[in-house]
A and B are shown apart, each in its own frame.
Chain A
Amino acid sequence: MTATTTTITAPIGKSGRVRPLDGLRQTFTMAWRSLVAVKHNPLELVDYSITPIMFVFLFTYVLGGQMAGSPEAYLKYALPGIIVQNTLFMTMYTAMALNTDLTKGVFDRLRSLPIARSAPLIGRITADLAKHVWAMLLMIGLGLLLGFRITGGPEGFLLGAVLLVVFAAAVSWCAVLIGMLAGDVEKVQAFAFTLIFPITFTSSAFVRVETMPGWLQAWSDVNPVTHLSDAFRGLLLGGPVAEPVVWSLVWAAGIAVVFYPLAMRAYRAKT
């Protein structure tokens, strides 16, 4: 290229470091990329929309009668739990997307650019949290159509949504670690299913813990999904929630404290 066109467009200071404001803008650009991809990938729509809808219908109308006497009665108990389970499953899409970027060489291209190193990672997590909110709203909306009522008031709903997003953000670091360490996307998926299924089903998400055998109750009582489900349910329906909310936050903090450094170390080593 001629001398006049070799101007460097990159936002680089004299030191070669990325300025914080540029880093933030790059993070949003990366988030845009994750969201705009949905347009061309209808399968993602299945992941974030059809699957949640299907779960609400199946749990309500198939299990509802036997579980609580009527679909409506069970929906009242189970909808918050279904949303919590879906939230946990969706964090694995973060792991899968990061793993794909890693194995397909997209991270190589991004790292060869003069951008903030964290932008691809934080951009992805930000976009995926937006998808969490979307799926949650979808499920709540469907629940309302099927007879669910938010008796905890708008503030309960808002606090519940915030709690869910905070928890999802913490678990995202676990997802980042898995995405960085797994050899391919299939392994991420297999790992996620064998981990998340038992954890969510051995909680109070779908059934009352008191109906389980004693040894299982011992686990269910400390299971973070139990705390999160109880907290979210309590906030949506109204009722005493202080204890499960505190425990949910403690778990979220604990997960973040353990997995954030591990995830960042793996990210720096791999990208």
Chain B
Amino acid sequence: MTYAIEAEGLVKRFKETEALAGVDLGARRGSVLGLLGPNGAGKTTAVRIFATLLRPDAGRARVAGHDVVREAGVVRAMVGLTGQYAAVDENLTGTENLLLIGRLLGLPRRAARARAAELLDRFQLSEAAGRAVKTFSGGMRRRLDLAASLVGRPSILFLDEPTTGLDPHSRGELWDLLRGLVADGATALLTTQYLNEADVLADDIVVIDKGRVIAEGTPDQLKSQVGGQVLELRPVLAQDLARAHTVVAGAAGPQARIEGETITAPVKDPELMPAVVRTLDREGIAVGELALRRSSLDEVFLALTGHRAEPGAPEGNGGASVRDDESEPRNADGELRKAVTGP
């Protein structure tokens, strides 16, 4: 199979830390590869190598068959990069930012202007086109940044956490735009720490942690790989929580956990559910809610890494990690998360 984006044994060290410790990955032409991992996992490093901004210490990275080190110029001509921080000039207007990129890419003035107008229209920025970017909202900046990466009609896109820090509404808007781009035939490498983002947008997912690939597959494959289903149980009375947990743990093993007022446990054996129900009945524990659902990528991540995909892990800056909630701003997450799921 030919890959549009391909890495073999990619290694990158920064002083003492090994950001990438031998990463292999491949994105099929016309597909979206989700690179999933917590802060500090090495996602941005990988993207920067593909976008010719960093040289790998070992291994090879190829874009459309071209080596990113030896043929950097060719690679640059066919990729678009949208970074974690909106890399647009705050003192220029939306139009001027896109005009700048168009002119740098060698478009004649008139063509550059037309391309800018076309992209601004497509990204719903026409009204703000004449305003300096510093007056833009966060969502508008990201859209402009994405537009800037598309001026040269790249066939391969690198999207480094394109929605980090955006509110749910803006994130939804950006998702729609990304889906539209991929529907047009672009190949994309999308890094994210939001599990549901990878779930929604990616055809294939590579999970990395501490610079290593720890799992790969389609979102469905990953979910079934980790034991298929999850049992969720909420007793009517909170004081029954401990006893109910004992019951579930007795049937499902030590992986049963109490989360708030709910007990969850991974389930592989279909006979387990009726057995739990019988025991609960015998013990006289009234059940408020009992459900069997497919495991979320969050649980996949827990099973793969052995650590919960939760904020507070001392990785990277800010400690934000993989999570599938949508509403929290990036740096205040530790406290917020506790407020949401605490007892």
Q: A22-B106, A105-B87, A112-B52 are in contact. Are A33 and B76 (CB under 8 A)?
A: no
Considering only residues 96-118 of chain B, those with a C-beta below 8 Å from chain A are 96, 100-101, 103-107
Interface residue count on the A side (C-beta < 8 Å):
39
A194 within 8 A of B: no
CB distance from B55 to the nearest CB of A (A): 11
Q: Mark A1-40, 1 if CB is under 8 A from B, else 0.
A: 1110111111110011110001001100110110011001
| Cβ contact within 8 Å between B148 and A109 | yes
Contact among B53, B77, B132, B145 with A40 in the assembled complex (CB-CB below 8 Å): B132
Cα(A36)–Cα(B72), bound, Å: 30
Interface segment among B78-86, B171-179, B214-222, B302-310: the answer is: B78-86
Q: A33-B96, A114-B76 are in contact. Are A9 and B83 (CB under 8 A)?
A: no
Chain B: CB-nearest residue to A100: B90
Q: Mark B109-153, 1 if CB is under 8 A from A, else 0.
A: 000000000000000000000001010000000000100110011
A66 within 8 A of B: no
| Cβ contact within 8 Å between B185 and A1 | yes
| Cβ contact within 8 Å between B153 and A104 | no
A115 within 8 A of B: yes
Chain B: CB-nearest residue to A28: B103
| Cβ contact within 8 Å between B100 and A17 | no
Interface residue count on the B side (C-beta < 8 Å):
46
Q: A7-B153, A12-B73 are in contact. Are A106 and B87 (CB under 8 A)?
A: yes
B92 within 8 A of A: yes
| Cβ contact within 8 Å between A112 and B153 | no
| Cβ contact within 8 Å between B91 and A16 | no
Chain B: CB-nearest residue to A41: B91
- Point out the residues of chain A lying under 8 angstroms from B90, CB to CB: 104
B45 within 8 A of A: no
Q: A1-B186, A5-B153 are in contact. Are A108 and B53 (CB under 8 A)?
A: yes
Identify 6 new A-B residue pairs, CB closer than 8 A, beyond the known A108-B48, A114-B73.
Answer: A1-B186, A33-B89, A105-B87, A112-B81, A113-B101, A113-B104
Binding site for A on B (CB under 8 A): 48, 51-53, 71-81, 83-93, 96, 100-101, 103-107, 132, 134, 145, 148-149, 152-153, 155, 181, 184-186
